Structure 1
């Protein structure tokens, strides 16, 4: 190992299993002190027995690293605040926040009820926003006190949020929201020494194994990029979205102006339609929605 994160304190949400667990272990292996957050719920967000966060923290400590478990609900203001406090109380600082917590409640849109929508958007989108807000407030205070941080945030979006995914309207909307949050945070927090990026991982976990049956890439394949983005070595990289699967890393390029027509005056509906069709003929064809026939 290279100790690329030696001396850094890293918080990973949803770190009891899957991708989060792999990230927590990878950061610890590179010298970081880790706050392992996991509420310990099932795939659908319902409570589950045991404390996966403590199991991962114990695994890190057994390997000679430093880690503490946090079992709070980071989609609440109290839970998010206690998450940052856990890093400061136990390790005296906070350098990197990795947002990863989430679960699925997949339904086709006509069968998707309000509770399933709210639950998924809450854990993914609100569960990214609240810890980010708490961490950002701490880093801003540090910067204003003359202790400019070398802070990093790594958010977890998804191909579903970038292209859409049939049967996952709630999840896709939340993950698309995380991209927007990432871009805003990158712009707003740069003055305080904070870099904010997002990854769209593809790996076989308990959350994806029923959705993408042919997916064989391991969560551990994604973690090296997350560790690098969470380290001081990623200086200058912010406001970006990366896709990671197996040994492949891709910089995702989002919305940007394409073919344009300007009449210089108001269009009629017929003229606007004619112009739109002409421009579509000149534009790149968007990627297919996951699961579309």
Structure 2
């Protein structure tokens, strides 16, 4: 809360958007309402459409307040690429995929007529994500290939690499697992010094191994992704991926896989040691290896209430 309020006071719209993206779910409803009210004022003042889009999405998803119509009115009255692009993305974020694709197609036609390659690349990329949501993987791959090519022609190396990583993921989704692995391997020498891209690669491998029910390997890929993302906000995304794997293991009663792997996370992330020790204790308890008192003792060491809630959720709140 304090960090977000400081960014709002500094009128740093980029920072506010970044913090809201990663931290909104940590705020109580009243705190969130206060932050969103100030953030909306800032977004309008700075004409920061990405921030405004995020605000509308959070209002809808967290508070059940519809701000989409207000953003629609602003976007169409302003009639700029940026405003309409973020509106289309907002449609996609809130599940209106066909509506998003309709607006993306309009933007693609307009930007093609203008010859604006950068905007064309952004639209191709976003359309690929929308088709992925519809499980239309062939169409998604076709559009992502176009996005990658456009980014390459523009000399946007990081965007190009990111699109290629996502293209490999789409190949995996469509059943082309060997091709996906080979494509990622080809990228590794080019991105070895780019932590965020390396984290994304490890998350693709995690998805592949999880799909193959090779959970030990999936957990190791989560570890590598978290280590690569240690210094950036992308750590939250890699952490969420790890929690998804642990949740799946809990559902499948594969408790031994959890407790046999948690020590490597505890040792790699000293600041989260109590959390990972707590996850291990829950798994040991559910597998009958320790009693309830011993498990409670481990959970009692977790100081962050959000992390404690998360461990209890993973254990179905038995404690």
TM-score, normalization: structure 2? 0.29
Task: Decide which structure has greater strand share.
Answer: 1
Task: Decide which structure has greater helix share.
Answer: 2
